[in-house]
Amino acid sequence: MYRSHKHKRLSVEVLEPRLVLNAIGFDAVSFHPSPLESVIVVLDDSVPNSADVAKSLVPAGAGNVGYVYEHALKGFSAQLPAAAIAALEKDPHVKYVEHDSVLGTAGQITFRNVVRIGAHLNATAAIDGQPDRLYYADPAVDPYSTVDVAILDTGIDIDHPDLLDNIAGGVYVNASGGYVYDASAYNDGNGHGTHVAGIVGAVDNDIVSVGVAPGVRLWAVKVLEDNGYGSSSQAIAGMDWVAATRADPDPSNDIEVANVSLVGSKNQAVNDAVARLVAAGIFVSVAAGNNADDAGKYSPASEPSAFTVSAMVDMEGQPGGLGTEVWTYGRDDTMASFSN
């Protein structure tokens, strides 16, 4: 069933007077020029090649195919008129069609009444001031140090002194449906992705903060533009790239951890892509959403297999009290409405 959400990313164009749907069992049908809606078409897992199916389901002149997914999902993104979407939903190769919704950074909301424990120390955390790192070229020294972490975000500042030596590579998933591997393309023009990458892997030097895994190998997967926004189809394309590292013959780029600090309205295609990463053996950490609301309303936070991160706040200083299923802050150790 076609899913509609409040936030829609629409591209208004006009079609040729006739829409050709022969490939899915329909004769050529006449249409008045119609606006194209951005959708994500999820195919049955048995489909051998999503690109071939996309070409057959969306013939020339019927719409525009964007990203093609082979690993995180079987499917593709497209811009189609409503009549073509309705026809696709009847095709036996199609599992479902989902609207392409807006995604953005999960920025932290600061409340004046929340006292952060040791905040004055955390801001200048240091171990010994030496450039310690978990990563060693020789796994025999530390077999756990070669962990590869993908940051699906606004990119990573490739010149940041805390991070530049441990950025292993990356990709920019651009809005037009392509992948760009040049470092200047996945460079962070926003700051959010760099902030997240620093929390994960900033080295221990004399520059302010140290990451939880200093020096870990980082992969910048830029799925949001420099304004902090992108689309569900972009995010899934980034996840598809991450999943592909586990399927290619090169073991040196296998990503074990993916951080996705993004938030958008609930989107089944996004959740399914996250679930596929988890099934492939990738630990996926996602933000609860920072919306002072039930995380179940948002994606990827609502995906059960993801590690959804929120925060705790104690408004009265007394022990006891349990977290709730609603990601909002209140009294007595309830879930806070901000997270990383």
Region 312-321: what's the mean pLDDT? Answer: 56
Q: Does the structure show a pLDDT above 80 at 119? A: no
Q: Does the structure show a pLDDT above 60 at 23? A: no
How much is the pLDDT for 316? 57
Region 267-277: what's the mean pLDDT? Answer: 97
* Run of H or E residues at 60: none
How much is the pLDDT for 317? 57
Confidence label for 5 from pLDDT (cuts 50, 70 and 90): very low
How much is the pLDDT for 145? 55
Least confident of 7-16, 154-163, 182-191, 226-235: 7-16
Confidence label for 206 from pLDDT (cuts 50, 70 and 90): confident
How much is the pLDDT for 106? 78
How much is the pLDDT for 252? 82
Amino acid at 25: G
How much is the pLDDT for 127? 45
Confidence label for 202 from pLDDT (cuts 50, 70 and 90): confident
Most confident of 53-67, 179-193, 286-300: 179-193
Region 19-43: what's the mean pLDDT? Answer: 61
How much is the pLDDT for 290? 73
Per-residue DSSP letters for 115-171? Answer: PPTTHHHHTT--SSSS-B-S--S-TTT-TTTT-EEEEEES---TT-TTTGGGEEEEE
- Please list the alpha-helical segments (H only) found in the chain: 50-57, 82-88, 119-122, 192-201, 232-245, 268-279
Higher pLDDT, 17 or 188: 188
For tokens 């007077």, name the residue: 17
Higher pLDDT, 114 or 323: 323
C-alpha count within 13 angstroms, C-beta hemisphere, residue 188: 27
CB 207 within 8 A of CB 84: no
How much is the pLDDT for 236? 98
Region 51-61: what's the mean pLDDT? Answer: 91
Confidence label for 14 from pLDDT (cuts 50, 70 and 90): very low
Confidence label for 230 from pLDDT (cuts 50, 70 and 90): very high
Which of 127, 133, 151 lies closest to 284 in space, CA to CA? 151
Amino acid at 286: V
Region 136-157: what's the mean pLDDT? Answer: 74
Q: Does the structure show a pLDDT above 70 at 323? A: no
Domains recognised in the chain with CATH numbers: 10-100 (3.30.70.80), 104-336 (3.40.50.200)
Region 79-84: what's the mean pLDDT? Answer: 95
How much is the pLDDT for 61? 79
Residue 244 in 3-state DSSP? helix
Region 97-109: what's the mean pLDDT? Answer: 84
Q: Which residues, listed in sequence order, are joined to residue 150 by a DSSP beta bridge?
A: 219, 258
Taking the mean position of all CA atoms in its chain, how far away is CA 14? Answer: 30
Q: Does the structure show a pLDDT above 80 at 137? A: no
> Mean pLDDT in the chain?
78
Least confident of 27-36, 123-132, 165-174, 224-233: 123-132
How much is the pLDDT for 318? 58
Q: What share of the chain has pLDDT > 70, as a percent?
A: 69
Cis peptide bond prior to 143, omega within 30° of 0 = no
Confidence label for 314 from pLDDT (cuts 50, 70 and 90): low
